[in-house]
Structure formats: structure tokens, C-alpha cells
Amino acid sequence: MGYVMPVTGTHIWYYFICKREVWLIIHNIAADQEDENLEIGRFLSENTYKRNKKETLIGNIVVDRIRREGEQIVIGEVKKSSKYKTSAKYQLLYYLDKLREMGINAKGELLFPTEKKKELIEWTEEESIKLSKVIEDIRKIARLPKPPKPEKISFCRNCAYREFCWAEE
């Protein structure tokens, strides 16, 4: 069958925002690590929801939060804003899907601490089918010989790759 490129939650997250960024990440082109938005994300990760476990490695996925509600395992994904909720939802569904493959039926929560919002996410067969199509498309993007052309979107303003994409403009 040949090599099948592993897809990560990060790839899923960026797929719904910028396919160029997916290609850059897959090809190990590093973003500006000094970018203010990356710093804010790291700060939120380290300083919110301290009562729950943080960044737990389960197989090849890293979940932001994990807790037990009676017999139910609940994993949480922390995001700075609900602006990219679709990305966050599918990233969390990807984690739930991977856990199901390991025999763990969990529920998910999207957590938006700066907005004091929380949204429950549950795995369904229908969402799993959509997720499979996204994963296949990510693998197609990875096989492209060069990144897709940049498109000006609102995310560009806060992107750690913005200079890479727009430096010659």
C-alpha cells in the first residue's frame, strides 16, 4: 500500500483556516516563534483551567485537558477565541476519533477562556465521515510540490507565517 502520511490535530485545525499554512507545517517550515499570537496561546495554555490535567499525550495525540465525569472521560481543547470554532470542533472530533480507535469513548469540550464559553462536542458517524474527507484532502495538500498560493483572509493579520506569505508584496 505504501506510506500513509500521519495527520495531526494541528493539521486539522489549520485546514479550515488556511490550506497554505497546512502545507508549510507539514513541510516543517517553522512559523515566527516570537509572534505575539503564539505567545498568547502559550500563556493561555499554561495559565487557564489549572484544576484539570494539562496537555496529556495519548497515543500520538496531545489533548489540552482531560477529566473524568463519573464513568465518562471528557477531553478539552482550549482556544483563544471562538472565531475559528469549526477548526476547533474538527480538531476535537479528530481526537475523539483517535480515542475511539483505541477503544476509549470520550466526549469533548471546546473551551474559550477569554470568552468564558464552553461547548460540548460528541463524536458521530456523520462527523467521522466528514473528518475522513478532510484527512484525505490534507494528504493531497501535503503531496503538492509547492504550497498553495496565499489568499488574503482575516486570519493573515494574526498569522505567524504572514511575513513568509506577504514579504514580497
Q: How far apart are CA 109 and CA 75, in angstroms?
A: 6
Is 3 a member of any domain? no
56: in domain: yes
Assigned domain for 34 exists: yes
Check which CATH number belongs to the domain holding 126 and give it: 3.90.320.10
Band (168; pLDDT cuts 50, 70, 90): low
> How many independent structural domains does the chain possess?
1
- On the 0-12 / 13-18 / 19+ scale of CB atoms within 10 A, 101 is exposed
Residue 20 lies in a domain: yes
Domain contains 85: yes
- CA distances 155 to 41, 65, 160, 166, Å, are 15, 25, 10, 13
Which range marks the domain in which residue 91 is found? 9-143+151-166
> For 74-133, what is each residue's pLDDT tens digit?
999 998 889 999 999 999 999 999 999 999 999 999 999 889 999 999 999 999 999 999
In a domain, 1, yes or no: no
Query: What is the chain's alpha carbon radius of gyration, rounded to the nearest angstrom?
Result: 16
Whether residue 55 lies inside any domain: the answer is: yes
Chain CA centroid to CA 72, Å = 23
Go through 33-62 and write b for each residue having 16 or more CB atoms within 10 A of its CB, e for each that does not.
Answer: eebebeeeeeebbeebbeebeeeeebeebe
Whether residue 129 lies inside any domain: the answer is yes
